[in-house]
Amino acid sequence: MFTSELLASAEAVLVACRQRGLKLATAESCTGGLVAAALTEIAGSSDVVDRGFVTYSNQAKTDMLGVAPPVIDRHGAVSAAVALAMVEGALSHSAAHVAVSVTGIAGPGGGTEQKPFGLVYIAAHRSGAEPVVQRFHFTSGTRDAIRRDAVREALRLLSEVIEA
């Protein structure tokens, strides 16, 4: 299901969390829980992974993570502002110390000129530190590849935030 590279990245995140006594949460839209799935593919991950939120709809982002509807209305679901609100919501609605969020357009449809398919925002936040958000435009062409690229970058960003 996952490449050996993705599993190695997931395992590295889990090890880094264990070394620091951190619990982790995910908040995912376009990846549909794949970040959480990669982490939980590793045996013993339950000592680190607190929970994963799959908030595919705007209503789910509001109901499960507390993302304010005006933020979604003003910036759109695929935006840095919503990615930040999602990661903050994952922390505040869990027992986690570190969280990652992913929102984007995996395509192949659904994109616009301003927000083309392949556009993904990923945010990560460790309690007591400043959140980080990054914008990506994955051009690999397929929905599967875009989602896999997003998982890879989410794990990378998580590692950076944990290590900081």
From the DSSP assignment, how many helices (H) and strands (E) are in the chain? Answer: 6, 5
55 three-class SS: coil
Supply the pLDDT for residue 88: 98
Question: 73: domain range?
Answer: 4-163
| Number of domains into which the chain is organized | 1
pTM over 0.85: yes
CATH number of the domain at 119, please: 3.90.950.20
pLDDT in tens, 84-107: 999 999 999 999 999 999 999 998
Question: Within a 10 A sphere around the Cβ of 153, how many other Cβ atoms?
Answer: 19
Structure tokens given for 142: 């397929």
* C-alpha angle 80-134-16 in degrees, rounded to nearest 5: 120
What gap in Å lies between CA 119 and CA 128, rounded to an integer? Answer: 29
Supply the pLDDT for residue 114: 83
* DSSP helix, strand, coil percent of the chain (3-state; round to 5): 45, 20, 35
pLDDT in tens, 134-162: 999 998 779 999 999 999 999 999 999 99
